[in-house]
Amino acid sequence: MKAWVLSDIGDFTLKKVNDPKPENNEVIVRVKNCGICGSDIPRAYKDGAHNMPLITGHEFAGSVVECGSRVSEKWMGKKVGVFPLIPCMKCTSCANKQYEMCSDYNYLGSRCDGGFAEYVAVPEWNLIELSDNISFEQAAMLEPVSVAFHAIRKAGIDKDTKSAAIFGAGTIGLFILMHILSMGIEDVYIIGNHDIQKKKAVELGLKPERFIDKRSSEPVRVLMDNTGGQGVSAAFEVVGTSSVYEEAVDCTERGGRVCLVGNPHEDMVLNRNVYWKILRNQLTLCGTWNSSFKGYEDDWISVTDSLDKGLIKPEALITHRFPLEDIDRGFKIMRDKSEDYIKIMCECT
């Protein structure tokens, strides 16, 4: 089969490799779509992967074409989404069914072969069956959409939340916005620094004046002015820098909540005055990573239900589509920032 293989840092090449064979508990998924995640870029060009050579790609969906000996034949031909984290099922977190916090996990696309290929081996446990109402493109975005939904749940956002600010208008920030707007919360702001981000935010339903452009505005001042000096009920830090963390704290009302979502790009240094504000305003801080997946009452079930009912349309954020043979073009756009983009999607077969 054809697959993009990361052999070493910077050595990311389309190759002919052997088709995967399923273990007893695995299926073979014929990949239909696979999205490029922001984490794929440093993996390919800067930091490498945990194991190399490796077929990268963890945001993918497809159809089951082969089942291992211990896998139910009911999966044959099914349209499926794939939870990429493979838990150990032995640690305390796994015993508590908090699989996203597994202490010894494997991971499709970063620790074992993933979805930038024609076929991929996936444990049966990691599959979620999809209805015909959900397209393969939508299903390939289940992972980042569920990550955003997980952050909203951790932050305690519900339909009665008065206001929110999202610092960071990349893919996850815009998916957080999409979820919040779908809940009927209108007093929401998002902070970004690209015209394409504003365009997509407005297409999702944001009022244009509630996109705060960091290139021309001071986000905290704008937010405090617009809330009468009170601040927002909840703020999401989706960038991963100390300065944005401080801004999120500065614009949150007394007794409010700050949810830390962005992967850190630097050491996170906490200014003493910011620390005082957390104490004196009795803010609630929460960290979030990944999403919950257990087959019932989890983020993936909730997101899949919303997709099935047409309540959310994540495909609206796709700005580029490339066939499998040309997916390196998408990687280079993201690496070099040579074009405006939000979500770049690979059409594998």
What is the pLDDT confidence band of residue 265, given thresholds at 50, 70 and 90?
confident
Asked if 283 and 257 count as a contact pair (C-beta separation under 8 A), the reply is yes
**Domain residue ranges of the chain, discontinuous segments joined by +:** 2-144+291-347, 156-287
**Fold designation for 156-287:** Rossmann fold (3.40.50)
The pLDDT, as a whole number, for residue 63 is: 98
Please say if the pLDDT value at position 349 is more than 90.
no
- Which tens digit of pLDDT belongs to each residue from 30-50? 999 999 999 999 999 999 999
Please say if the pLDDT value at position 281 is more than 80.
yes
Q: What does the block give as tokens for 206?
A: 């944001």
Asked if 170 and 38 count as a contact pair (C-beta separation under 8 A), the reply is yes
Asked if 133 and 76 count as a contact pair (C-beta separation under 8 A), the reply is no
Asked if 248 and 179 count as a contact pair (C-beta separation under 8 A), the reply is no
The pLDDT, as a whole number, for residue 249 is: 97
- Which tens digit of pLDDT belongs to each residue from 151-193? 999 999 999 999 999 999 999 999 999 999 999 998 999 999 9
Name every residue whose Cβ is closer than 8 Å to that of residue 42 and which is 6 or more positions away in sequence: none
Kind of pairing, strands 26-35 and 59-67? Answer: antiparallel
Q: What does the block give as tokens for 322?
A: 């490339």
3-state secondary structure of 243: helix
CATH architecture of 2-144+291-347: Alpha-Beta Complex (3.90)
Please say if the pLDDT value at position 296 is more than 80.
yes
What is the pLDDT confidence band of residue 339, given thresholds at 50, 70 and 90?
very high
Spatial separation of the C-alpha atoms in residues 240 and 77, rounded to whole Å: 40
- Which tens digit of pLDDT belongs to each residue from 320-338? 999 999 999 999 999 999 9
Q: What does the block give as tokens for 101?
A: 């916090």
Please say if the pLDDT value at position 209 is more than 90.
yes
